């Protein structure tokens, strides 16, 4: 099957660009409720898989032994902006383990948050690994590694932590991974089909405190993310703004190269999206369209209107075009 035309950019009454992709809506029962493009398309979930990677943190007992709060669990699933809120929390978390910045294996990059970038410039300071958008995930990794008394090179594919992460990923998605690649933060990222990713999110959506160890862990992570949208992403980000708009009823997570997932516990539904050209504006538009279709998001909410239909405004404030759905979707 081919990718589906999903999102278009119009300018001057003419079609300028088209974004094609794949999307699947799955139910916790395993049923597929909707599919566009090729659900069998194998992708790297990238950071949308952070919830899977955080499962060993809870399942091993490491989270409870370390006294982690729901806010910590949300940060463990985050792709954050590197704002002071995120940096300080990750730093306090790691130092509280008796470890330091050098124990992280995610690498350093400039924070995306403008205020934090300005602060670093004014103080002539360099970004550190706590500024990495994945520092929360890696703080969770360190917590699990310390609890297991495993080796320090926790991003290696044969490390006990990564073996546990792969087992959790394959179990929840219901699919043996087609392979793995190294993510931007140096951790292994396991590939799967778009359908498997959606079914995995549906399993998160159907998980409850009354289930087995894995189900309880999935339910805790979902609640933590939905309750702490600012920690999951940050100011102005789609994950944060849309979760705020849905008032904690849905958990969302983006991944690099235009991947998006959603967990809808009230409906026991999971969504997975992949845009072929890696354009995040298209992934956000598709996400909004599907959330509206499912009745989870008010299309009139400013967070939705910001992304679909999204007016294109130039530097002089002139309306130059519009991002809209293709006629064939959804």
Q: What is the mean pLDDT of residues 115-120?
A: 95
Smallest CA-to-CA distance from 22 within 190, 192, 246 is with 192
In this model, does residue 310 exceed pLDDT 90?
no
First to last CA, the chain: 17
pLDDT tens profile 279-292:
999 999 999 999 99
Write down the mean pLDDT value for the chain: 97
Helix (H, G, I), strand (E, B) or coil at 16: strand
Indicate whether 300 pLDDT > 90.
Answer: yes
> How far is CA 231 from each of CA 12, 133, 237, rounded to the nearest angstrom?
39, 11, 11
Question: What pLDDT is stored for residue 218 in this prediction?
Answer: 98
Residue 264's pLDDT is 98
* Statement: residue 258 has pLDDT above 90: yes
Q: Percent of the chain beyond pLDDT 90? A: 97
Percent of the chain scoring above 70 in pLDDT:
100
**Mean per-residue pLDDT, 59-76:** 98
Q: What is the pLDDT of residue 209?
A: 87
How confident is the model at residue 168, as a pLDDT? 98
pTM: 0.95
Q: Tell me: pLDDT of 328 over 90.
A: no
Handedness of CA 211, 214, 217, 218 (dihedral sign): negative
Q: What is the pLDDT of residues 152-175, one digit of tens each?
A: 999 999 999 999 999 999 999 999
Residue 25 has pLDDT above 90, yes or no: yes
What local confidence, expressed as pLDDT, does residue 1 receive?
Answer: 78
Q: What is the pLDDT of residue 265?
A: 98
Burial class, 195, CB count within 10 angstroms (exposed 0-12 / middle 13-18 / buried 19+): buried
Count other Cβ atoms within 10 Å, centred on residue 176.
Answer: 11
Domain residue extents for the chain: 4-325
Q: Which CATH class is domain 4-325?
A: alpha beta
- Angstrom distance (rounded) from CA 241 to CA 212: 32
């Amino acid at each position: 099957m081919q990718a589906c035309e999903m999102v278009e950019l119009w300018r001057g009454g003419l079609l300028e660009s088209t974004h094609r992709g794949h999307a699947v809506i799955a139910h916790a029962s395993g049923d597929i409720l909707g599919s566009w493009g090729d659900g069998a398309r194998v992708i790297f979930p990238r950071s949308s898989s952070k919830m899977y990677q955080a499962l060993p943190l809870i399942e091993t007992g490491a989270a409870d032994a370390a006294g982690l709060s729901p806010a910590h669990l949300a940060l463990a699933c985050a792709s954050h902006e590197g704002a002071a809120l995120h940096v300080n929390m990750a730093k306090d978390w790691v130092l509280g383990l008796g470890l330091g910045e050098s124990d992280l294996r995610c690498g350093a990059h400039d924070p995306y948050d403008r205020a934090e970038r300005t602060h670093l410039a004014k103080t002539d300071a360099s970004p550190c690994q706590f500024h990495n958008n994945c520092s929360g995930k890696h703080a969770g990794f360190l917590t699990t590694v310390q609890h297991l008394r495993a080796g320090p090179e926790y991003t290696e594919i044969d490390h006990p932590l990564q073996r546990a992460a792969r087992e959790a990923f394959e179990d929840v998605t219901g699919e043996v991974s087609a392979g793995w690649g190294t993510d931007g933060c140096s951790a292994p990222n396991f590939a799967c089909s778009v359908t498997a990713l959606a079914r995995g999110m549906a399993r998160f959506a159907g998980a409850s405190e009354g289930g087995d160890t894995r189900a309880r862990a999935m339910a805790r992570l979902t609640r933590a993310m939905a309750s702490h949208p600012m920690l999951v992403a940050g100011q102005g980000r789609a994950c944060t703004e849309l979760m705020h708009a849905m008032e904690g009823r849905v958990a969302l997570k983006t991944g690099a190269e235009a991947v998006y997932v959603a967990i809808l516990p009230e409906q026991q539904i999971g969504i997975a999206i992949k845009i072929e050209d890696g354009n995040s504006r298209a992934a956000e538009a598709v996400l909004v369209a599907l959330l509206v279709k499912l009745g989870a998001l008010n299309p009139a909410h400013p967070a939705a209107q910001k992304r679909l239909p999204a007016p294109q405004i130039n530097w002089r404030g002139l309306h130059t075009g519009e991002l809209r759905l293709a006629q064939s979707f959804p």
